[in-house]
Amino acid sequence: MTIVDPEPIFPHELRDAWPALSRDERVESFKLVPHATADDFFLSLSAPEQLELILALAPAERRTWMRLLAPDDAVDVVQAAPLEVRESLLGELDEATRREAHALLAYAEDDAGGLMNPRFARVRPEMTIDEAISYLRKQTREKVETVYYAYVLDSQQHLLGVVSLRQLFQASPGKRVDEVMRRDVVTVSEDTDQEAVSHLFSEHGFMAIPVVDGEKRMKGIVTVDDIVQVVQEEATEDIQKVGGMEALDAPYLEVGFLAMLKKRAGWLMVLFLGEMLTATAMGYFEEEIARAVVLSLFIPLIISSGGNSGSQATTLIIRSLALSEVRLRDWWLVARRELAAGLALGTILGCVGIVRILLWQGLFHSYGEHAVKVAFTVGLSLVGVVMFGTLSGSMLPFVLRRVGFDPASASAPFVATLVDVSGLVIYFTVASVILRGALL
Amino acid sequence: MTIVDPEPIFPHELRDAWPALSRDERVESFKLVPHATADDFFLSLSAPEQLELILALAPAERRTWMRLLAPDDAVDVVQAAPLEVRESLLGELDEATRREAHALLAYAEDDAGGLMNPRFARVRPEMTIDEAISYLRKQTREKVETVYYAYVLDSQQHLLGVVSLRQLFQASPGKRVDEVMRRDVVTVSEDTDQEAVSHLFSEHGFMAIPVVDGEKRMKGIVTVDDIVQVVQEEATEDIQKVGGMEALDAPYLEVGFLAMLKKRAGWLMVLFLGEMLTATAMGYFEEEIARAVVLSLFIPLIISSGGNSGSQATTLIIRSLALSEVRLRDWWLVARRELAAGLALGTILGCVGIVRILLWQGLFHSYGEHAVKVAFTVGLSLVGVVMFGTLSGSMLPFVLRRVGFDPASASAPFVATLVDVSGLVIYFTVASVILRGALL
């Protein structure tokens, strides 16, 4: 690429180094970005990064950068700011944008209304193709951010159809817009959840989706570039919940230590209190353990196998529900499938477990005179525990969704805890049947 | 919206019902979609769904639908097909597209080369703005899929810069393209991994990124609508690996039972063999357990607390590495942070554990004459186990990344297994110190 300035900082180089820089280094380097590309660089930053720069710059410069932002992006910056500076940031905007920003601030951040840009390209149905193209040129010269689709509106702002730029370019110049527009438009409303909006994008491969109110009056557009971010965020939230904690909502190294501790301690405590039931359960079997200490050797093996198989099942179903690959009404299908999977997986593990115990017994006489019965106790318990794991792991997300919770909260460790307690009961019940009269 | 046909199936209604339909129902309903919207509906399907329809339609119709696809999308359909029909599908394409498709088939599916579309809008640097706009109109009438950016190429196809349609529309008609184009273009090469490509999109908010070869000659573009899909897929893979299994690579209900079993049994077996070490470890402590059965009651509680805290830490770090929020060189920063977090979390759980044991002792005399010592054994062990959990859980992803594996393979259950074995050793070591002379 040709170099524009004698000693410029290349925006993409600075972008790479950005996470490693301190606030002051960021501000200093930003000042070295050549004027011609500084705008693009600034726009490529996330809202909290833009805020950091704006607050560090001289008050006279703030206005320039705030006004560079589209209304929806300006709102993101304002929302990232502490309450006491929000009004002063809004004050930097021009009158019209400030009004739009105020309206957008009223929407929840996670709804289509909070993602949408109120400025979009519009045309009238009775325009000719050539008129529409020059009208679009005029609109981009003013403030419209994206012109990939032009929305066809009547005089009351009702959405009649949509034409892509490609269609306008392909059509013969004398035709009317309403002869080439698509009428079957996929729309969302202002309170559509951002996860639902991102599904529409990944299903249809759109560049933008219009947001309409109850009377089909057009309010704005959501564009696909905002959605890539949303998809990443939603996936991160789900992964963190599957990992057994509250979603952090910010990069790991940027979250304060105490805030992070709080998000982790909460769930850890819930799981700990749940696991205390294992101590209670074990208490009931204390006598059996005293009589047959050999039984205790396999407790970690058995409960963790149940936990692992449950964690697989719950992860699969959480993700399938999130991507709408599996629906609530499929629960019975899933239950049968997971019961069969649990039987198969449990039988495999059970056989390996039996072989292991008999082998050690043959080699080292590790497990006393009743080793064969102990081996079958462990083997059979594994079948039962793994089946219980896959079944409860796969059903818990359905139950949570049914009662209105996020299935991702049925995190893998939560299932593991549930399975631990039941696993102990299964193990000692099997043992009391097989080992009665022998060890017990 | 106005209705086009008397009794049409609305594409978006059919799209919603699609997952629940059998193959035959899909083919029948597809035939009922009004001609005017059938193209859009077909293009909104995923490659395997398009393949299913194409194979089910009469051979005469196959050509129409295959030729509707852009070269990169046609390649996706061909790649979804069984080997024996691939050549016949390629045969349906026109000569030029077939050549492009053959070239694309040579790229790995997960690289930028495999995602890219070889057809893009191009202009010459010396054109005027008005010439460029009419040249773009001409290109869309032929086969170019997207015109959001036009790439400025010299006669040897070297990429000189890029202009957005918005810039062309805003500039005064008589200016030259090279006066308004951006020269500092972010590019990827054909073998850039799709995960790296998706980071560029989510960082910069681009609509498309050009793919160039070693000499900066332009080969094609990757568009953001393909990236939404990629981001979803990568997140699903990571979530499934965190859940302790191989990535399924297809929706849950569409994967064959045996294929799914194989992907789950492999990891489950690895974890099971790892957990067998707990039986070995327990074997070493068999005498201690026989003398102090009360110790065995808290085994599940202690090892699962280590597992849960390790699973939190590993999930956090896996995701942070995947999003490049944390880099390899940050390992020391993370280690200190997690050690501190482990100390804090372990102390909290330890205190709760001590209170629980003393309370039960006071109420039910559950734990014998040495209950206070047992309580402090459990409390101290919890601090040690949780610290070991957070530390090993957070470091394992770094180690795996360092030796060239995917950190997501350091799945939460894998960490839990590692922590189980070490947790037992920590617990019984603490016990042997505190309870020496009392119970042991």
Binned at pLDDT 50, 70 and 90, residue B352 comes out as: very high
Angle separating helix axes B224-242 and B194-204, nearest 10 degrees: 120
Q: Report percent pLDDT > 90 for chain A.
A: 28
Closest CA to B306 of A241, A420, A295: A420
Which pLDDT value is given to residue B1? 41
- How far apart, in whole angstroms, are the C-alpha atoms of residue B310 and residue B426? 15
Where does residue A286 rank: exposed (0-12), middle (13-18), buried (19+ CB within 10 A)? Answer: middle
Which pLDDT value is given to residue A1? 41
Q: CA torsion sign, A423 to A427 to A428 to A429?
A: positive
Average pLDDT over residues B411-433: 89
* Amino acid in position B108: A
Please say if the pLDDT value at position B375 is more than 80: yes
Please say if the pLDDT value at position B242 is more than 50: yes
Domains and CATH numbers, chain A: 11-108 (1.25.60.10), 122-241 (3.10.580.10), 252-434 (1.10.357.20)
- How far apart, in whole angstroms, are the C-alpha atoms of residue A323 and residue A307? 24
Which residue, among B42, B304, B349, would best test binding to A if mutated, counting the most A CBs under 10 Å from its CB? B304
How do the residues of chain B divide into helix, strand and coil, expressed in percent and rounded to 5? Answer: 70, 10, 25
Q: DSSP assignment of B182-250, as one string?
A: B-----EETT-BHHHHHHHHHHH--SEEEEE-TT-BEEEEEEHHHHHHHHHHHHHHHHHHHTTS----S
- Enumerate the residues of chain A whose CB falls inside 8 A of the CB of residue B19: 324-325, 327
CA distance A303 to chain B (A): 8
Residue B66 phi, psi dihedral angles, 5° rounding: -60, -40
Please say if the pLDDT value at position B161 is more than 90: yes
Which pLDDT value is given to residue B389? 95
Closest CA to B117 of B227, B254, B267: B227
Which pLDDT value is given to residue A212? 93
Asked if A297's CB is within 8 angstroms of B279's CB, the reply is yes
Which pLDDT value is given to residue A434? 92
Q: Which of B137, B235, B352 sits opposite A169 (nearest CB)?
A: B137
The answer to whether B216 and B222 are in contact (CB under 8 A) is: no
Nearest chain B residue to A334 by CA: give it: B253
Q: Report percent pLDDT > 70 for chain A.
A: 95
The answer to whether B184 and B216 are in contact (CB under 8 A) is: no
Which pLDDT value is given to residue A171? 84
Asked if B289's CB is within 8 angstroms of A300's CB, the reply is no
Q: What is the 3-state secondary structure (H, E, C) of chain A?
A: CCCCCCCCCCHHHHHHHHHHCCHHHHHHHHHHCCHHHHHHHHHHCCHHHHHHHHHHCCHHHHHHHHHHCCHHHHHHHHHHCCHHHHHHHHHCCCHHHHHHHHHHHCCCCCEHHHHCECCCCEECCCCEHHHHHHHHHHHHHCCCCCCCEEEEECCCCEEEEEEEHHHHHHCCCCCEHHHHCECCCCCEECCCEHHHHHHHHHHHCCCEEEEECCCCEEEEEEEHHHHHHHHHHHHHHHHHHHCCCCCCCCCHHHCCHHHHHHHHHHHHHHHHHHHHHHHHHHHHCHHHHHHCHHHHCCHHHHHHHHHHHHHHHHHHHHHHHHCCCCCHHHHHHHHHHHHHHHHHHHHHHHHHHHHHHHHHHHHHCCCCCCHHHHHHHHHHHHHHHHHHHHHHHHHHHHHHHHCCCCHHHCCHHHHHHHHHHHHHHHHHHHHHHHCCCCCC
Structure tokens, B233:
């897929």
- How far apart, in whole angstroms, are the C-alpha atoms of residue B310 and residue B390? 5
Please say if the pLDDT value at position B120 is more than 80: yes
Identify the top-confidence range among A407-411, B229-233, B362-366. Answer: B362-366
Average pLDDT over residues A105-118: 78
Average pLDDT value for chain A? 85
Average pLDDT over residues B221-233: 83
CB atoms within 10 A of CB A134: 12
CA distance B61 to chain A (A): 23
The answer to whether A345 and B265 are in contact (CB under 8 A) is: yes
Which pLDDT value is given to residue B4? 41
**Four-CA torsion B344, B348, B351, B353, nearest 10 degrees:** -120
CA distance A119 to chain B (A): 14
The answer to whether B334 and A440 are in contact (CB under 8 A) is: no
- Enumerate the residues of chain B whose CB falls inside 8 A of the CB of residue A264: 309, 312, 341, 345
Please say if the pLDDT value at position B140 is more than 80: no
Binned at pLDDT 50, 70 and 90, residue A137 comes out as: confident
Please say if the pLDDT value at position A3 is more than 50: no
- The answer to whether B366 faces chain A, any CB pair under 8 Å, is yes
Which pLDDT value is given to residue B145? 64
The residue behind tokens 């000693």 is A7
Question: What SS3 class is residue B422?
Answer: helix
Average pLDDT over residues B270-288: 88
Which pLDDT value is given to residue B144? 67
Q: Report percent pLDDT > 90 for chain B.
A: 28
Please say if the pLDDT value at position A62 is more than 80: yes
Binned at pLDDT 50, 70 and 90, residue B9 comes out as: low
Looking at the predicted complex, does its ipTM rise above 0.95? no
Where does residue A64 rank: exposed (0-12), middle (13-18), buried (19+ CB within 10 A)? Answer: middle
For chain A positions 327-356, those within 8 Å of chain B (CB to CB) are 327, 330, 333-334, 337, 340-341, 344-345, 348-349, 352-353, 356
Tens of pLDDT, residue by residue over B62-74, are: 888 888 888 888 8
Q: DSSP assignment of B129-198, as one string?
A: HHHHHHHHHHHHHTT-S--SEEEEE-TT-BEEEEEEHHHHHHS-TTSBHHHH-B-----EETT-BHHHHH
Average pLDDT over residues A172-201: 87
Question: Residue B196: CB partners within 8 Å, gap ≥ 6?
Answer: B188
Structure tokens, B294:
């009360």
